[in-house]
Amino acid sequence: MRALVLHTPAPAAAHPLRLEHRPVPVPGPGEVLVRVAACGVCRTDLHVVEGDLPPRRPTIVPGHQVVGVVVAVGPEVEPALVGQRVGIAWVHRTCGTCRFCTSGRENLCDRPDFTGWTVDGGYAEFATAPATFVHRLPRGLSDEQVAPLLCAGIIGYRALALTGLDQRPHGWRNARLGLYGFGAAGHLAIQLARRRGADVYVCTRDRERHQALAKELGAVWVGDAAEQPPEPLDAAVIFAPAGELVPPALEALDKGGTLVLGGIHMSDVPPLEYRLLYQERVVRSVANNTRNDAQAFLAEAAEAHVRTSVQTFPFDRANEALEALRNDAIRGAAVLRGWSPSAESTL
Residues 65, 116 share a domain: yes
Pairing, β 253-261 against β 333-337: unpaired
145 found inside a domain: no
The predicted structure's pLDDT at residue 343:
45
Residues 266, 177 share a domain: yes
Residues 314, 263 share a domain: no
Residues 129, 6 share a domain: yes
Residues 130, 6 share a domain: yes
The CATH number covering residue 26 comes to 3.90.180.10
Beta strands in 132-252 (DSSP E): 134-136, 176-180, 199-203, 221-223, 233-238
275 found inside a domain: yes
Residues 158, 133 share a domain: no
* pTM, entire model: 0.92
The CATH number covering residue 250 comes to 3.40.50.720
CA dihedral (297, 299, 305, 311) positive or negative: positive
Tell me the chain's radius of gyration from C-alpha atoms.
20
pLDDT values of the chain reduced to their tens digit, one per residue, 347 residues: 999 999 999 999 999 999 999 999 999 999 999 999 999 999 999 999 999 999 999 999 999 999 999 999 999 999 999 999 999 999 999 999 999 999 999 999 999 999 999 999 999 999 999 999 999 998 888 999 999 999 999 999 999 999 999 988 989 999 999 999 999 999 999 999 999 999 999 999 877 788 999 999 999 999 998 889 999 999 999 999 999 999 999 999 999 999 999 989 999 999 999 999 999 999 999 999 999 999 999 999 999 999 999 999 999 999 999 999 999 899 999 999 988 665 455 55
The total number of structural domains that make up the chain: 2
- The CA-CA-CA angle for residues 309, 314, 320, to 5°, reads 80
- Letter for the amino acid at 140? G
